[in-house]
Every structure is written in C-alpha cells, then in structure tokens.
Amino acid sequence: MRAQSKSTTRLLMVLLASAALGLAQTSGYPNYNQPNHNPAGPGAVNYVEGEVSLNGQPLSQQSVGSITLAPGQDLKTGNGYAEVLLTPGSFLRLGNGSEIQLESAGLANARVRLLSGSGLLEVDQLIKGTDLSIDMNRDSAHVLKNGLYDFDDSAQAVRVLDGKLKVDSAVSSKEIGKDNEILFANGDTFKKTDFSASLVKDTPLYTWSQARSHLEAQENLTAAQYANNYVAAGPGWFWDPYMNFYGFWPASAYLYSPFGFGFYSPAFFGYYGGYYGHPWHYYGGLRAGYRGYVGGTAHIAGGFHSGFGGGFHGGGRR
C-alpha cells in the first residue's frame, strides 16, 4: 500500500512539473501565434476525419482544440475516423462505425469503454503509477507497458501488437504480451492465444493510425527544435497552431513509438527557452527528468539512430 502511494505521488509530481514547465515557457517569452484552445487532457478530441459526432452533434477538424469528452459522453464515428488523447503520450484512434464512452478522465486514471466498432491504442509513454484502461462489455484491459493495442468489438477480441496488458473480469485475470489475444466470446475464464499481426496491420484503421503517428512525430521534431513557437497545452502536450492539433513532448529526452517513429523533448536539442532559463529543469528538480541530461545539455548515449527510413528532416518554423 505504501509503495502504491509513493508511486501515485511520484506520478502526480511529474504531471504537475510538466504543467509548471508550460507556464515557465509561455510566461517568459512572447508568443504571437497563441491560439484559442482548451487545455489538453484525457478525452480531448485531437483529430477528426469524415463522419464523427459527440452526443449526436457532428464534429469537424475545426472542432479540435475546443472539444473534450466529459465522463459519460459518447463519441461516435460513421464513415470516418477520430483520435482522442488519453494520458500524456497515449492516443486512442477509432475506425469506421465505432463508439466510445469516456468513463474517467483523470491524469492518473483514464478509462474508456468501447461500445462498438474498433479502436487502436498507441501508448508511447506510460508514467509509473498510471492506470490507463479500455473496457469492453464487463471486462477491463489495463495497460502495463508502452505499446500498441487493438480492441475489436465485432470479434470480441483484445490484441497486443506490442507491449503488455492485464485483462480483468469478475472471475478471472490474465496478462498478455506481444502477439497474444483474448477472445471474450470464450467466457469470463480467459484463455490467452496467439494471433497473426497481419490481422490488424491489414486493416484501414491500422494504416490510418500509422499515418497519424508519423505526422505527429514529424511535428514533434520541429516543435522540439523551435519550442518558443509553440504553446504548452497541459502536462505532456503542446498546441500546434500550424497543424491545428495537440502534439506530444515526452518526459524523457527522446523515445520511440511502437510504430518506430521518434518523439523528442526540447532538452534533446539543448533548448533554453524564455527569459527564465531552461524550462525543462522542472523535471530534473523532481528527479523525473532525462537520463543523461546534465547541466542543461542533452547527453544522449550513442547519439540519435533513426529507425524509420532515413529519419525526419526538421523544418524551420520561426
């Protein structure tokens, strides 16, 4: 119990430090491009394509920045796709004919129920102590590691393409890892089985999700290099006025998504922002900062190794 309390305290300290980071960045440096957007957080709608509605009201890409699901609200797609932010560094993407309901919107406890259709959950960062879960019917899938997870209501299946899940029912609990699935049609006593990743990778939702992750990684790279041009929008997130969606800054110098794309903090490039010194010192002061980041300089062991076909070419938005 004491260990759990310490873990939760550490998590909240990291998240609050990230919020303070945003205040330091925006208060000390004038930003003439600051848009009118809501803070990012669990339930924030981050991308809309085609037919998407919130509690029956149609949404468009222009809705992004102003629409956040509240607990109990439903987001539904027809012939379209939607992307919803959960905890910092996690993206839930919905395919055609899907519906979700937000059950909990806490930074340390985010829970979504898949009512119909399909969802692909990309988790690039999972801060220790976070409870991130997706519910289907009477069962809950809790994310245990960074990874990529498929939820399919029509097949009554939960699949792990990368990472680790713990699936709970009223009478059973099972942990599953990469290339494992659980079929809820087998009843409450779960049986872990293998599946072919091509079953998911050949779907339109996977292709769309991969394209979204690629674009977000590209925008993250530019934002990390030119951080003064961007506005912090909440713990772990920034607002991208050029693309009209929220971007992600990790709580480490850099990391890779399960798709293989790189995400970077401004500290990776030795960025000093604003007139009040390096805003990323907030993390270092709480011992939740970047491994190898010493005295305001990013020392990355081995340097940068691109794992995605030549890497990105960062543009200069000044």
Are 54 and 181 in a shared domain?
yes
CATH of the domain at 66: 2.60.120.1440
Domain that holds residue 135: 45-197
Number of domains in the chain: 2
Q: pLDDT at position 185, please?
A: 72
d(CA 195, CA 84): 26
pLDDT in tens, 87-129: 999 999 999 999 999 999 998 899 999 999 999 999 999 999 9
Q: Which pLDDT value is given to residue 189? A: 66
Tokens describing residue 33: 């491009």
Spatial distance between the Cα atoms of 61 and 47, rounded to a whole number of angstroms? 6
What pTM was estimated for this model as a whole? 0.78
Q: How do residues 194-245 score in pLDDT, each as one tens digit?
A: 999 999 999 999 999 999 999 999 999 999 999 988 888 988 999 999 899 9
User: Residue 314 falls within a domain, yes or no?
Assistant: no
Give residue 58's pLDDT.
97
Residue numbers in the chain where pLDDT is lower than 50: 1-35, 272-318
Residue 21, SS3 per DSSP: helix
Q: What local confidence, expressed as pLDDT, does residue 172 receive?
A: 83
Residues 179 and 55 placed together within one structural domain of the fold: yes
Can you say how many angstroms the Cα of residue 64 is from the centroid of all Cα atoms in its chain? 16
Question: Half-sphere exposure of residue 283, counting CA atoms within 13 Å on the CB side?
Answer: 26
Whether 192 and 294 map to the same domain: the answer is no
Residue 160: helix, strand or coil by DSSP?
Answer: strand
- The phi and psi torsions of 17 (rounded to 5 degrees) equal -65, -35
Query: Pairing mode, if any, of strands 74-85 and 45-54?
Result: antiparallel
Indicate whether 318 belongs to any domain. Answer: no
Virtual torsion, Cα 188, 83, 76, 126, nearest 10 deg: 30
